[in-house]
């Protein structure tokens, strides 16, 4: 049997959107790391091994080559390889949503690569460097949508913020099926959810999204991305299970003893939102390698603190640090 994509089952945007909706209900949104060698080159064999272990922990969707996967440092050939391996490992079991970004022409090149390699949908990362008016944000998505049949999830963070009127406009583009939010402005987000048509998808994309998962759920956005799943899927899965079960005691304990210390450590240095995740994965023996410049690996002191935080979290869920 050949490699399967979920798009083989349904290629219409509404069909894929339903697959995404089903995935949101099943588990966290997984954003895997991209495995690199010590010289910074892509290590596909290591990535395959790493991703196979990650997907064994039943995330609801997988998002290769996004922020955690260092999309910003991948060339087109590397991007193609990462998406291809992800589709092969997923093998139709869960949706594969590949990251695309930069200006619309570059984003469209990445989109076409992802489509060729069998991705199910695309996450449109914020454009590079400049600010843009609302009309420009709409035009960017229209141009990308015109060049690929894959459903698009818009992403607002940093310099990209959609108004309620703009949300209505982008939701009118047939292949735009959802929005990931990284601003954590719940008043604005509530306005967007109220402006959206029925069935439009929303995702909590805050940094260390578990910290705000309950708050997002109150405005109708229960699905969230999990960087923790990239290095400690046991913790991510335990939190997801406790949260969905309404187990406040277990949820609060994980937040207090693991997530809060992790966030405090993350906030020490710019770029640690990715660097710490990779370092934690290496502490567990996962074959992910270093980060690429301009990111830097954690200092020895911060790495020692990360070990303590990681061990505390793993102890809470009865897991061990080394996985191989």
Residues carrying an active site annotation: 155, 180
Contact 127, 156 (CB under 8 A): no
Three-state DSSP state, 104: helix
Name the helix (H) or strand (E) containing 155: strand 152-156
How many angstroms separate the CA atoms of 29 and 46, rounded?
21
Helix (H, G, I), strand (E, B) or coil at 73: helix
Describe the strand order of the beta sheet including 61-62 as a list of residue ranges.
Answer: 61-62, 29-30, 225-226
Dihedrals phi, psi of 289, to nearest 5 degrees: 75, -165
Q: How far is CA 206 from CA 28, 49, 225, 264, in A?
A: 13, 28, 8, 15
Structure tokens at 142: 């229209």
Q: How far is CA 176 from CA 98, 173, 278, 323, in A?
A: 14, 6, 31, 39
Which helix (H) or strand (E) covers residue 97, if one does? strand 97-100
Q: Which two tokens stand for residue 182?
A: 């990284």
* Secondary structure class of 273 (helix, strand, coil): helix
Task: At 46, list the tokens.
Answer: 């290591």
């Amino acid at each position: 049997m050949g490699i399967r994509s979920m798009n083989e089952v349904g290629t219409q945007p509404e069909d894929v959107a339903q697959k995404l909706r089903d995935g949101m209900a099943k588990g966290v949104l997984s954003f895997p790391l991209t495995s690199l060698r010590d010289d910074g080159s892509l290590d596909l064999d290591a990535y395959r091994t790493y991703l196979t272990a990650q997907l064994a922990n039943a995330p609801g969707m997988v998002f290769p080559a996004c922020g955690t996967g260092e999309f910003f440092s991948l060339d087109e050939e590397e991007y193609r390889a990462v998406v291809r391996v992800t589709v092969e490992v997923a093998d139709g079991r869960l949706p594969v949503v590949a990251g695309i970004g930069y200006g619309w022409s570059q984003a469209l090149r990445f989109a076409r690569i992802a489509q060729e390699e069998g991705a199910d949908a695309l996450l449109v990362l914020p454009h590079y460097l400049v600010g843009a008016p609302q009309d420009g944000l709409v035009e960017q998505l229209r141009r990308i949508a015109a060049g690929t049949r894959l459903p698009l999830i818009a992403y607002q963070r940093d310099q990209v913020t959609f108004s309620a009127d703009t949300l209505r406009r982008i939701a009118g583009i047939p292949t735009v099926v959802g929005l990931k939010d990284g601003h954590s402005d719940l008043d604005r987000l509530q306005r967007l959810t109220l402006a959206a048509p029925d069935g439009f998808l929303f995702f909590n994309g805050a940094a260390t999204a578990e910290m705000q998962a309950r708050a997002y759920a109150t405005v109708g956005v229960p699905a969230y991305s999990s960087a923790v799943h990239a290095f400690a899927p046991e913790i991510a899965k335990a939190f997801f299970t406790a949260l969905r079960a309404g187990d406040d005691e277990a949820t609060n304990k994980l937040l207090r003893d693991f997530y809060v210390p992790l966030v405090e450590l993350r906030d020490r240095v710019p770029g640690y939102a990715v660097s710490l995740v990779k370092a934690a994965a290496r502490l567990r023996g996962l074959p992910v390698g270093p980060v690429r410049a301009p990111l830097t690996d954690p200092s020895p002191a911060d790495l020692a603190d990360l070990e303590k935080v990681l061990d505390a979290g793993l102890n809470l869920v009865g897991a061990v640090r080394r996985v191989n």
